[in-house]
Chain A
Amino acid sequence: MQPSQATPTPPTINPKLIVPFVNSVRNVFATMVGVSTTMDRPRIKTDRAPAYDVSGIIGFSGDVIGTVVVSFQKCAAAKLVEAFAGMAVDPDSPDFADAVGELANMIAGGAKQHLGNAADISIPSVVIGQGHVITRPSDVPCVVIPCKTEVGDFAVEVSVKQLQTAGT
Chain B
Amino acid sequence: MKILLVDDSRTMRNIQKKVLGDLGAVEFSEAGDGLEALTAIASTPEGFNLIMVDWNMPNMDGITLISRIREKDKATPLIMATTEAEKSRVMEALKAGVNNYVIKPFTPEMLLEKVKTTLEKLKAVA
Contacts and interface: CB of A to CB of B under 8 A. Distances in A.
A86 interface: yes
A84 B104 contact: no
A79 to B, nearest CB: 15
A101 B56 contact: no
B10 interface: yes
B91 interface: no
A105 B8 CA distance: 11
A32 interface: yes
Given A86-B18, A117-B88, A95 B104 contact: no
Given A95-B10, A102-B11, A27 B105 contact: yes
A98 B56 contact: no
Given A98-B11, A106-B105, 11 more contacts: A27-B105, A32-B105, A32-B106, A32-B107, A85-B14, A98-B9, A98-B10, A101-B9, A112-B86, A117-B88, A118-B88
Interface of B: 8-12, 14-15, 18, 56-58, 82-86, 88, 104-107
Interface of A: 27-28, 31-32, 81, 84-86, 94-95, 98-99, 101-102, 105-106, 108-110, 112-113, 117-118, 121-123
